[in-house]
Structure 1
Amino acid sequence: MQNVPNFFLIGAAKCGTTSIADYLNQHPEVYFSAYKEPNYFALVNEDLSHPGPLSPKMNFHIQYSRSLVTEADYEQAFANAGDAKIRADASVRYLYYPKTAQRIAQHAPDAKLIAVLREPVSRLYSHYCMNVQFQTEPLSLQNALESEDSRVAAGWGWDWHYTRLGRYTEQLERYYQHFDKSQLLVILYDDLVKHPLETYHRICRHLGISDTFTPDMSKRGKVPTQPRSLMLDRWLNWPDSSRKTLESWLPPRITTKITQTLSEINNKAVPKLSPSLHQELASLFYDEATKLETLLERKIPWYKSS
């Protein structure tokens, strides 16, 4: 395979990877594919017809429509990288999908990798809120968690593996089986939030690129919201013939402005997770925090069992 990336931002989901990718994409020595998450090494040769809460067509549209699953398409995504020192693939499925580490190692054994980890309950709730935002989660949080095992058994995709995605230790261990520890930089979301520029420069040094460049960090990556009107949200974000007709009539600049304005009006902040429910869910991950500290040989600023 030609044009294989030499850097992979492997996840985890809802841990600040979009912000990191946005900041790195500004660096003159870095080239990203046009769409942040090509997902090739997670989804190649995989069956993408997973069941879910929507029709098969809409499940595919929301989860997989921008993913690249053929070698030719993936190579083409990096065909314009030129002499960029770093060719970057930021696909958050990579950390969780069991076969990905071995696949990347086969094609890019010398690659640099970065994983970003977030306190698991906060990550889980952010992921749930994103699914509610995309109208792919019809259940309350507690009902969704109670249904996780049955959904997984029924073949539902990773988007509904809420607790499983937060068990980072076994996911990282798969990468340590195929890569030297020096190749994988593990960052905590807490450090990214509290010290974004310092964390960015640390990433640059890991990648072997100049750490004197300062990106614009004024905007955060994907911030979850909830739609006030489900019907308007579907019109804005789902395939819709009337919206396509409007887009064909008006200049792209105008249609973009209209859709952005309507989205801002329709979106509202997600409710905060109650402290009592957070504490209840944290008990699911007490052992995980201890195992993660052992693996990474560092303190994890999350919770511990009493």
Structure 2
Amino acid sequence: MVKPNTFIIGAQKAATSSLYYWMSQHPEICGPSSLKDHPFFLENNHSKKEIMAFQKEYYREGYNFQKIILQGYVNYMFYPEAIKNIYSFNPKAKLICVLRNPTDRAISAYNYFKKLNLERLSFKEALYKEKDRANGSQREKNNFTYKAHGLYAEQLEYIFSIFEKDQVLVLFYEDLQENPYNVLQSIFRFLEVDEQFKAELKKVNVTGEVKHKWMHNLLYNQSNIKKFFIDRFIDPILPVHKRTNLKLAFLNWNTKPKKAGSLTKNDNIKFLEEKKLLNSFFKEDIVKLEKLLNRNLENWK
């Protein structure tokens, strides 16, 4: 039975979708696109039958006896229970995470969920109401905890208490933007596969801007009619991994990317007050992170 042994665990809005796509091109890595952002290990009550079905169904098309079996979910590092579940499933697993300036990450996440018609509040309102939303639905906790997602030192300290440090590769978004081939080479070295392999560096799932808003709004509005149609007609026909592929393909096709690796001038002006609030909020955690990883992060402060 195919058993995932490498996990991309986050962080949210730090180019993990692109990284997953690049890694999965390697001939020694099996990484079906449907297994990126599938939150299987958020739950710990899966039966043996469910685990076997997960492994058999989702890896069936892409598995050809590769050395590395890849799975990922952008929020794994945010949930201690997910890290614990991954360890229980495979204590020898390797984890990969990408960290991004937490203030920029929060703004990018806000813009992304606005784009998907999920976020209805202003950014300032969202930041002030974060504690309440964190106690709400799973979707609210996943998507609207803009500050909590950026507390990387806190998250990594827990991860290092479960996994050995040499099982965890911590990368930085800025490096991925500036030197993607070098970063990929370090990943392949970490996974002990051919580090000279050159992937096609196409970006996927970027925040960007919507090309055709009417089409986007039609697909992503939160109406009861749409929910009824999906529940009754789409879900029974298309399994979740097929729907994931279709959704990602549409988002990539209908997105006009902004300049890579940066916020727009409009974002910097529009969210000036919020940026000051976030910079102050993250400062202590960044200092802890510098010590934890022995890396100067002055540009984040």
1:215-254 equivalence runs, <5 A: 215-217=199-201, 219-227=202-210, 231-237=214-220, 239=226
* d(CA) in 2 for partners of 1:23, 1:282: 31
* d(CA) in 2 for partners of 1:297, 1:268: 33
1:158 aligned to which of 134, 138, 142? 142
* d(CA) in 1 for partners of 2:133, 2:283: 24
2:156 counterpart letter in structure 1: L
1:41 counterpart letter in structure 2: F
Matched, 1:188 2:203: no
Q: State the Cα distance separating 1:230 from its structure 2 match.
A: 5.8
* d(CA) in 2 for partners of 1:294, 1:276: 28
1:32 matched to which residue of 2? 31
Q: Is the 8 A contact 1:125 1:273 kept in 2?
A: no
* d(CA) in 2 for partners of 1:27, 1:166: 30
Count of aligned positions:
266
Moved over 6 A (4+): 259-262
* d(CA) in 2 for partners of 1:7, 1:28: 15
1:294 matched to which residue of 2? 291
Provide, for residues 128-172 of structure 1, a one-character-per-residue CA deviation record: whole Å limited to 9, x for no partner: 111101101001111111111111233432211110000011111
Q: State the Cα distance separating 1:276 from its structure 2 match.
A: 3.0
2:103 aligned to which of 106, 121, 129? 121
* d(CA) in 1 for partners of 2:114, 2:131: 19
Q: State the Cα distance separating 1:280 from its structure 2 match.
A: 3.4
Q: Is the 8 A contact 2:117 2:220 kept in 1?
A: no
* d(CA) in 2 for partners of 1:180, 1:281: 31
Q: Is the 8 A contact 2:211 2:254 kept in 1?
A: no
Change (3 A) 1:45 1:225: farther
Provide, for residues 1-30 of structure 1, a one-character-per-residue CA deviation record: whole Å limited to 9, x for no partner: x42211011101101111111111111000
* d(CA) in 2 for partners of 1:88, 1:261: 22
Q: Is the 8 A contact 2:206 2:252 kept in 1?
A: no
Identity of aligned residues (%): 28
Q: State the Cα distance separating 1:86 from its structure 2 match.
A: 0.3
1:205 aligned to which of 189, 192, 198? 189
Q: State the Cα distance separating 1:102 from its structure 2 match.
A: 1.4
* d(CA) in 1 for partners of 2:65, 2:203: 29
2:268 matched to which residue of 1? 273
Q: State the Cα distance separating 1:44 from its structure 2 match.
A: 4.7
Provide, for residues 104-137 of structure 1, a one-character-per-residue CA deviation record: whole Å limited to 9, x for no partner: 1111111111111000011101111111011010
Q: State the Cα distance separating 1:263 from its structure 2 match.
A: 3.3
2:128 matched to which residue of 1? 146
1:173 aligned to which of 135, 152, 157? 157
Greater shift, 20-29 or 154-163, is seen at 154-163
2:74 matched to which residue of 1? 92
Gaps of 5+ in 1: 47-68, 246-254
* d(CA) in 2 for partners of 1:71, 1:294: 38
Q: State the Cα distance separating 1:176 from its structure 2 match.
A: 0.8
1:41 matched to which residue of 2? 41
Structure holding more helix per residue = 2
2:7 matched to which residue of 1? 8
Gaps of 5+ in 2: 235-245, 259-263
1:214 matched to which residue of 2? 198
1:263 aligned to which of 254, 260, 271? 254
